[in-house]
Amino acid sequence: MYPGLDNAEFAKQYQANKKYWDEAFAFITNINLDTLSAGKYLIDGDNVFAIVSESATKPIEQVGWESHRKYIDLHLVINGREKVGVTFAPATRLTKPYDAKNDSDTNLWLGDKVKADYYIEDPTTLYIFFPQNAHKPGVHVDGYDKVKKMVIKIRMAE
């Protein structure tokens, strides 16, 4: 896991929804990720599911920020590499209304004084983004034009 992981939030969410987390980790462990095709995989109905995508990465200026309110994102690159930005979501401003159907605040705007950290997502690291973590995935890394990635969504504990 990357250095920006909120360990206290992880512990809280894991203890509150241990079953969901264990199902997500079992899915990652027990499936051959290379054989997964693009699509949605139900793990525990709407509580835990995976979305596999294969897409081109983009220049940083063409990628927007996003955050979620109902789900925690677990990002795992299967093939390739992409850069991801991470910052504190409450420091951002919405430029579009919240999309409840897709649980997404997209096209967030960062003020000039908001600091973001950037990491390289590759198959060796699992990234976890809580609702307070605005993130900017899918940014191009030299030498990697395409990425195959799985995002597991875990319902937030109240």
Q: Show me where the domains of the chain are located.
A: 7-155
pLDDT at 47 over 60: yes
pLDDT at 2 over 80: no
Tokens of 41: 């995989």
Edge-to-edge order in the sheet of strand 48-56 = 39-44, 48-56, 146-155, 71-79, 126-129
CATH tag, 7-155: 2.60.120.370
pLDDT band at 107 (very low <50, low <70, confident <90, very high): low
Question: Is the whole model's pTM more than 0.75, yes or no?
Answer: yes
The torsion region of residue 143 among left (phi > 0), alpha (psi -120 to 50) and beta comes to: left
Chain segment 56-106, per-residue pLDDT in tens: 999 998 888 888 889 999 999 999 999 999 887 666 666 666 677 777 656
pLDDT of residue 67: 84
pLDDT of residue 7: 85
* CA dist., res. 148 & res. 35, Å (int): 11
87 closest CA partner among 124, 150, 131: 131
pLDDT mean over 104-112:
56
Tokens of 153: 């969504």
Q: By the 8 A CB rule, do 74 and 127 touch?
A: yes
* CA dist., res. 20 & res. 153, Å (int): 10
pLDDT mean over 26-38:
95
pLDDT of residue 114: 64
* CA dist., res. 5 & res. 3, Å (int): 6
pLDDT of residue 132: 85
